[in-house]
Chains A and B, each alone.
Chain A
């Protein structure tokens, strides 16, 4: 709560509690929420966004979007990559945006409102903290869509964060990726720890570009996840191609030279900068098909961004995954075309995982088409999922086949069928345990709460998408050692509710967590959780001065006109400063504790472990990079030349019976390849065009998931139209319809065939 009201200085050096006026406390004490209780003793605001817990406003059946966005935000490497690509928004630009977009509300608004007999009182912000920003009456939250009282209260009392298009400040044109980045950056940059995001701009872009999402209908969260990841890939690649032309057009800067970064003539970018989505979510499946006639085994690799698994009653995700790799007969209508024998033959097929993704998104196929009912039906099978997972169905030559995953997020579908219902996300945050994100509402929950959604409990709530992220046994052990200490912290909290924040007692967890500012607890040999090896420094991180080899070439690209160069890395000195300070303190601490040899050794050892892990990880990543590079080399031209042909990653469905079931839902992956071919030609030609024209032309690249979009002459004037559209969006953030744009985008649609 305290941090909510303190405009802590940017580098987090000031102490927040001092600024909290005593008057407010009387009001706050009775209404401290469970989330606020869990967030006590957080220390100063961090700059990596790991201490932000924002609900998201639901604009009517947009919970599919909210739950997925939350899951992605709390994937540490994904969040880091999003906010750092292509660069972080310059601080002043972000702050200016935040000053406009973050609106504090009176935390007692709902009490007063109730006192005034439901007459909604204009929320008057606490004056001291508003820095002269007048409350915008237009932004007044209305809670028609959230009938639940808690959500209503949250909407009335918590700071509201509007997100606006800020893409120009980091040199991109507006896209789904930039609106995602805008959301993430505003949350990360905000000084309030809790609040509510209004993802209006994101939804506007989404709806503008995808007709399917224009209605207020219930949407499928998994489809949305897949679309979003593909869209991010597409946007990033488009941007990379665009930058390549700029790089080529302008003379390379000295820094670019020093890194040996010379833009290649093909326009393909170093995978360091653009392949981060692939490196996180993408895995490779190998399907081995053995022709039963000629015994020849043919192999085919496919990439996937998530896995869809068929469910069985009373099973586990382990078993669902294993079932997929079981041998399958291709016979009768489903015969295999053998190149060797030349014809349709009976064959045996099995799918195995050849390259394991770092984040494994598992889609449980709860919606199944039933012939007798002629529609999709929700399966309420009991499917158990463990907190940790390894994969059994790996190929023999897979790298790291015993990779350990931990469950970090669960998207839950509540409802009786696929056409209606509600989505929420239950997410393990880096250091505040598991939280339930239900649109505007964020509530702390027990670890065991995660297990309420196997599908066997009343209330129709079932896990629908599971997110597993890679981890190590060491990280798991460290975490387990700290687990369930929370009751003690809880006891302390309850006994000290309302006490000043300067209380000498802080729960044991807090020490380990807010490591960057609070003097490290000398008795805690554990690594601070925000640096767990599951959250390694991404090599795309452009601001890490200590690792020049990992520094992204993107950071040194020629600046775009509106952005002064020196603003690109405002946060890095601070970060290294923190680390330095921490290390210094650690050394002092060790001196003090010299007699306690054991602990010292442990700590040193832990550090050593970290180094090793980091190194390992780098090596692994490099290896995988090398692999992918090899792959690219093997696959030859489509990958190298355009960077577009392989963009479209489907979610790999583990259903072999898909065709038999005639699942009517049009899968993204199904329409992936064919239409792309049509577009490959103009793209390729664009790249061979003289660089003089190129800085503009990449904008013409069609978003990759609009494969059916007809080529229209109007697109030559698109930059203008797009700017116009942007202005439109700015001026009328709530206008969804924009009739002028509709016809151009209509051609792409997902029809759910009932």
Chain B
């Protein structure tokens, strides 16, 4: 029988502050305001289509520690106490303006089955017609909350007026910084002033997401995952919230990434640091989770590509979780849903990229990083490519239809923390994506279908466009027969054999560097003095956010968007 690990210690020392102090940041003692600056010389990003100009640099104020959690800076640097996971600032952006929606590349009209469609236990209860239009809100008022989890909520004095006066098509941003969670109106002339700031105790929010399906001018469904494992469902307009996975009852490991299931009003997927993916329903109560599938022993954990401890097809769907999948013993770093809403790309600290058909709860393919853990992943807007970034300082482009690595992108000087496609600069043949990393850099990359698929031998003669660089290929295969090659490739044999017993999962070997195309960036720029941890493309701008709270916005060059 599977034994759940004991709960990890609750962290007593807010190390985030200590880490901040080491970086030269003073531990704040007062609640500060966000500040906005317009750097004089700017930080222009020069690429082929023009120059992206830095609009401003919004610095979110790090909140002071809660009085009950005064930072004890341990003088012993060798202290072996576990430290709570922290993360830099990440943003969730939302706009109601249909013109600002990213272009889609998929044929419309294909209906995809919803997650859990086949399970009658998951069918939504019939809703009265008059309630149908009305969104369900969480139960508790966050402002009046007496929860020890929510420390304080600071609303702007004129937030009601600002909300009613604002451009209804403006962009809202939600950002986590340390123990605070801020709601900003980016279209406001005073965008540095938050609308609401929620302060938590005991945990920091590490990730958050807004439901695109349920957003209205009076309703936003936000879920956020914390360093303690608890998840908050928050509706900012009415200031209501609910706490899911309370005290880690379902899974007590930190939430590393959280996303609403595409096309679902209620279900969202959260990845946890102990290698688990859990689907929760925002409306359901928690229950202590015991694995429902026990037909294999402990030793198989970590060997199976996916260990379904609770299936979406389980009869028991009265309480959370809806489904519970153990992927590995290592942290799930991030995941991304495919544009066709059927597949899921998951990257893990163990260095694997796992492609899932999540509707069927199956892992289709396992790829491995060149070395080190993978950190971030995203799909191209047409769903044909997946790009991952990791601790090998590389971005790797994988072809989804061909199930193989197509190129490695070298340009970062440290680990890659976020990658995103720019759908406004992608068409059917060329792709633009950007990446940010611990080296404080923002990099932009272009690749095109024709170049990536040309056989390697032809590459050298076809440098018409900037990108592909071919490592000296004439001698590259000289040592193919030696042990080194076997070493790299032999795992394919192992896994092939291994997988005869296991479903349809294919495990792919690591491609040697001499056989993989290397792609240089079209632009690389140091944009700050602290690691950059998030990147987003909007119709009119590029945005990044950093570890210490700098949110930078670059305006696109005029007429740069590919007309589609």
Chain A interface (Cβ < 8 Å from any Cβ of B) = 34, 312, 314-316, 318-319, 382, 384, 386-390, 392, 396-405, 412, 414, 424, 436, 438, 443-446, 448-449, 452, 456-461, 472-474, 476-477, 480-485, 487-488, 490-491, 494, 508, 521, 523-525, 598, 601-602, 605, 609, 612-613, 616-617, 619-620, 623
B28 within 8 Å of A (CB atoms): no
Task: Provide the bound-state CA to CA distance between A400 and B512, in Å.
Answer: 9
Q: Given known contacts A386-B371, A474-B494, is B18 in contact with A458 (CB within 8 Å)? A: yes
* Contact residue among A318, A396, A483 (Cβ-Cβ distance under 8 Å from B392): A318
Tell me how far the C-beta of B323 lies from the nearest C-beta in chain A, rounded to whole angstroms: 22
B111 within 8 Å of A (CB atoms): no
Interface with A: B132-140, B298-306, B376-384, which one? B298-306
Tell me how far the C-beta of A693 lies from the nearest C-beta in chain B, rounded to whole angstroms: 45
Asked if B329 and A480 sit within 8 Å, CB to CB, the answer is yes
Asked if B439 and A472 sit within 8 Å, CB to CB, the answer is no
Q: Given known contacts A402-B512, A414-B77, A438-B78, is B491 in contact with A487 (CB within 8 Å)? A: no
Residues 474-509 of B contacting A (Cβ, < 8 Å): 475-476, 478-479, 482-488, 490-491, 494, 497-498, 501, 509
Residues 13-40 of B contacting A (Cβ, < 8 Å): 18-19, 21-23
Asked if A473 and B368 sit within 8 Å, CB to CB, the answer is yes
Give the chain A neighbours of B371 by CB distance below 8 A.
386, 388-390, 404-405
Q: Given known contacts A388-B351, A480-B302, is B77 in contact with A461 (CB within 8 Å)? A: yes
Give the chain A neighbours of B483 by CB distance below 8 A.
400, 616-617, 619-620, 623
B513 within 8 Å of A (CB atoms): yes
Give the chain A neighbours of B561 by CB distance below 8 A.
none
Tell me how far the C-beta of B438 lies from the nearest C-beta in chain A, rounded to whole angstroms: 6
Give the chain B neighbours of A392 by CB distance below 8 A.
410, 513
Per DSSP, chain B at the interface is loop
Asked if A386 and B372 sit within 8 Å, CB to CB, the answer is yes
A-B contact pairs, 25 of them (CB 8 A): A314-B438, A315-B439, A316-B414, A316-B415, A316-B439, A387-B373, A390-B371, A396-B471, A400-B485, A401-B479, A401-B512, A402-B484, A436-B80, A472-B490, A474-B490, A477-B491, A480-B328, A481-B301, A482-B302, A483-B329, A485-B329, A609-B490, A612-B486, A619-B483, A620-B484
Q: Given known contacts A392-B513, A488-B3, is B484 in contact with A403 (CB within 8 Å)? A: yes
Tell me how far the C-beta of A70 lies from the nearest C-beta in chain B, rounded to whole angstroms: 14
Asked if A384 and B415 sit within 8 Å, CB to CB, the answer is yes
A462 nearest CB neighbor, chain B only: B77
Residues 62-79 of B contacting A (Cβ, < 8 Å): 73-78
Give the chain B neighbours of A605 by CB distance below 8 A.
494, 497-498
Report B400-414 CB contacts with A as 1/0, cut-off 8 Å. 000000000010111
B473 nearest CB neighbor, chain A only: A396
Asked if A456 and B19 sit within 8 Å, CB to CB, the answer is yes
Q: Given known contacts A457-B22, A482-B302, A620-B482, is B510 in contact with A473 (CB within 8 Å)? A: yes
Task: Provide the bound-state CA to CA distance between A523 and B297, in Å.
Answer: 8
Give the chain B neighbours of A458 by CB distance below 8 A.
18-19, 21-22, 73, 77
Give the chain A neighbours of B302 by CB distance below 8 A.
480-483, 485
* Given A386-B392, A402-B510, A481-B302, 13 new contacts (CB under 8 A): A314-B439, A316-B438, A386-B415, A403-B484, A404-B371, A404-B488, A449-B80, A457-B18, A461-B77, A477-B491, A491-B5, A605-B494, A609-B494
Asked if B372 and A396 sit within 8 Å, CB to CB, the answer is no
Give the chain A neighbours of B98 by CB distance below 8 A.
none
Task: Provide the bound-state CA to CA distance between A617 and B487, in Å.
Answer: 9
Task: Provide the bound-state CA to CA distance between A631 and B6, in Å.
Answer: 57
Q: Given known contacts A386-B371, A400-B484, A487-B6, is B490 in contact with A312 (CB within 8 Å)? A: no
* Contact residue among B274, B303, B439, B510 (Cβ-Cβ distance under 8 Å from A481): B303
B300 nearest CB neighbor, chain A only: A523
B472 within 8 Å of A (CB atoms): yes
Which of B412, B440, B475, B484: most chain A Cβ within 10 A?
A: B484
Asked if B330 and A387 sit within 8 Å, CB to CB, the answer is no
Which of B6, B297, B328, B510: most chain A Cβ within 10 A?
A: B6
B513 nearest CB neighbor, chain A only: A402
Asked if B414 and A384 sit within 8 Å, CB to CB, the answer is yes
Give the chain B neighbours of A609 by CB distance below 8 A.
490, 494
Give the chain A neighbours of B76 by CB distance below 8 A.
459
Q: Given known contacts A316-B393, A318-B393, A491-B3, is B487 in contact with A400 (CB within 8 Å)? A: yes
Give the chain B neighbours of A474 by CB distance below 8 A.
490-491, 494
Give the chain B neighbours of A481 by CB distance below 8 A.
301-303, 329
B294 within 8 Å of A (CB atoms): no
Q: Given known contacts A319-B414, A458-B73, is B494 in contact with A616 (CB within 8 Å)? A: no
Q: Given known contacts A458-B18, A460-B77, is B514 in contact with A401 (CB within 8 Å)? A: yes
B531 within 8 Å of A (CB atoms): yes
Interface residues on B, range: 35 or more
Give the chain B neighbours of A482 by CB distance below 8 A.
302, 329
* Contact residue among B330, B393, B440, B490 (Cβ-Cβ distance under 8 Å from A480): B330
Task: Provide the bound-state CA to CA distance between A484 and B78, in Å.
Answer: 22
Asked if A472 and B299 sit within 8 Å, CB to CB, the answer is no
Give the chain A neighbours of B482 by CB distance below 8 A.
399-400, 619-620, 623
The 5 closest A-B pairs by CB, nearest first: A400-B484, A459-B77, A386-B372, A461-B77, A487-B5
Asked if A319 and B73 sit within 8 Å, CB to CB, the answer is no
A473 nearest CB neighbor, chain B only: B491
* Contact residue among B23, B299, B330, B372 (Cβ-Cβ distance under 8 Å from A525): B299
A533 nearest CB neighbor, chain B only: B487
* Contact residue among A405, A448, A480, A525 (Cβ-Cβ distance under 8 Å from B350): A480
Give the chain B neighbours of A523 by CB distance below 8 A.
297-299
Give the chain B neighbours of A487 by CB distance below 8 A.
5-6, 8
Tell me how far the C-beta of A552 lies from the nearest C-beta in chain B, rounded to whole angstroms: 22
Tell me how far the C-beta of B496 lies from the nearest C-beta in chain A, rounded to whole angstroms: 11
B391 within 8 Å of A (CB atoms): yes
* Contact residue among A403, A456, A494 (Cβ-Cβ distance under 8 Å from B23): A456
Give the chain B neighbours of A382 by CB distance below 8 A.
438
B351 nearest CB neighbor, chain A only: A388
A406 nearest CB neighbor, chain B only: B371
Asked if B514 and A319 sit within 8 Å, CB to CB, the answer is no
A323 nearest CB neighbor, chain B only: B413
Which of B73, B438, B483: most chain A Cβ within 10 A?
A: B483
Give the chain A neighbours of B351 by CB distance below 8 A.
388, 476
* Contact residue among B21, B80, B414, B509 (Cβ-Cβ distance under 8 Å from A315): B414
B370 within 8 Å of A (CB atoms): yes
Give the chain B neighbours of A318 by CB distance below 8 A.
392-393
Task: Provide the bound-state CA to CA distance between A683 and B244, in Å.
Answer: 78
Tell me how far the C-beta of A528 lies from the nearest C-beta in chain B, rounded to whole angstroms: 14
Tell me how far the C-beta of B7 lies from the nearest C-beta in chain A, rounded to whole angstroms: 10
Give the chain B neighbours of A384 by CB distance below 8 A.
391, 414-415, 438
B50 within 8 Å of A (CB atoms): no
* Contact residue among B74, B82, B303, B490 (Cβ-Cβ distance under 8 Å from A446): B82
Tell me how far the C-beta of A453 lies from the nearest C-beta in chain B, rounded to whole angstroms: 8
Give the chain B neighbours of A436 by CB distance below 8 A.
78, 80
Q: Given known contacts A461-B78, A474-B491, A482-B302, is B484 in contact with A401 (CB within 8 Å)? A: yes
Tell me how far the C-beta of B521 lies from the nearest C-beta in chain A, rounded to whole angstroms: 14
Give the chain A neighbours of B73 by CB distance below 8 A.
458
Q: Given known contacts A315-B414, A396-B471, A508-B298, is B6 in contact with A490 (CB within 8 Å)? A: yes
Give the chain B neighbours of A524 by CB distance below 8 A.
299
Task: Provide the bound-state CA to CA distance between A384 and B390, in Å.
Answer: 12
Task: Provide the bound-state CA to CA distance between A405 and B487, in Å.
Answer: 12
Task: Provide the bound-state CA to CA distance between A445 and B475, in Å.
Answer: 45
* Contact residue among B80, B393, B487 (Cβ-Cβ distance under 8 Å from A445): B80
Give the chain A neighbours of B471 by CB distance below 8 A.
396
Give the chain B neighbours of A613 by CB distance below 8 A.
490
Which of A398, A477, A490: most chain B Cβ within 10 A?
A: A477
Give the chain A neighbours of B5 by CB distance below 8 A.
487-488, 491
Tell me how far the C-beta of B490 lies from the nearest C-beta in chain A, rounded to whole angstroms: 7
* Contact residue among B77, B392, B414, B476 (Cβ-Cβ distance under 8 Å from A314): B414
